Structure 1
């Protein structure tokens, strides 16, 4: 097996590839769901559908930032994962404590239970991965593209 290409951002190697793929799947799923719900059923649960759209935007931003892999992109991905985690925790808690406010589920309802709790685990894994990437960048051990 050959050494990693230093021109390839660290985020696109090894576990970064898997993380990007999972984020891309969630970006597609959340976007499709939100567009359909807003277009056909918005009056039923506007808060839930707007939150699903917000989740979709965050997943798209995280996917693109992880795929780009530059220093600024790593910061953007870190911010997206942080907002995502706060969103999952807040919406998850609200959907449990005030279920009447969520007549239809969002991606983050019940802490992502409808998606196997992946929405709860994904930002944690993303933040841990990005922490490692930033640490490697600081030590100069990788080929993280600066830009």
Structure 2
């Protein structure tokens, strides 16, 4: 088999094509944004809002797991993506509700506070899109 044949018969990851590319790119942007912001805030003024800054760092780690697992092939990576993105959705809903009901607990915003209002609600919409995309590219469907 020539190198050309090898590249044309290479297994393609369906999660990285079409809308999947945009979803992965958005996760990558949120990785950089949330981790850099949380890192700076934790390093310079953690005492002002430890809960908010810690939650932003946790969100950033979840975004890393989601972005990497979405980009990988195989059923295991698919399941890691489902768990990461489901955890993200639960986090956005829980922190969003908490920050609305008890604003004093969040003297500074997190990625997920107020359901991601400070990020144009993308943190609320992104996991829904991510789960939809995972469902569309689930391994059982691809095996048919």
Alpha-carbon shift at residue 138 of structure 1 (Å): 1.5
Which residue of 2 is the match for residue 34 of structure 1?
38
Deviations 1:50-104 (A, max 9, x none): 0000000000000000011321111001101100000000000000000000000
CA distance in 1, matches of 2:90, 2:129: 14
Alpha-carbon shift at residue 141 of structure 1 (Å): 5.6
Which structure has more helix as a fraction of its residues?
2
Which residue of 2 is the match for residue 99 of structure 1?
103
Asked whether 1:123 is paired with 2:127, we answer yes
CA distance in 2, matches of 1:124, 1:24: 16
Asked whether 1:86 is paired with 2:86, we answer no
Number of residue equivalences: 137
Matches within 5 A, 1:1-147: 7-134=11-138, 137-140=139-142
CA distance in 1, matches of 2:115, 2:100: 9
Which has more radius of gyration?
2
RMSD: 1.5
For structure 2, list consecutive stretches of 5 or more residues without a partner in the other structure: 1-7
For structure 1, list consecutive stretches of 5 or more residues without a partner in the other structure: 143-147
Which residue of 2 is the match for residue 145 of structure 1?
none
> With CA pairs under 8 Å and 6+ residues apart, which has the higher RCO, 1 or 2?
1
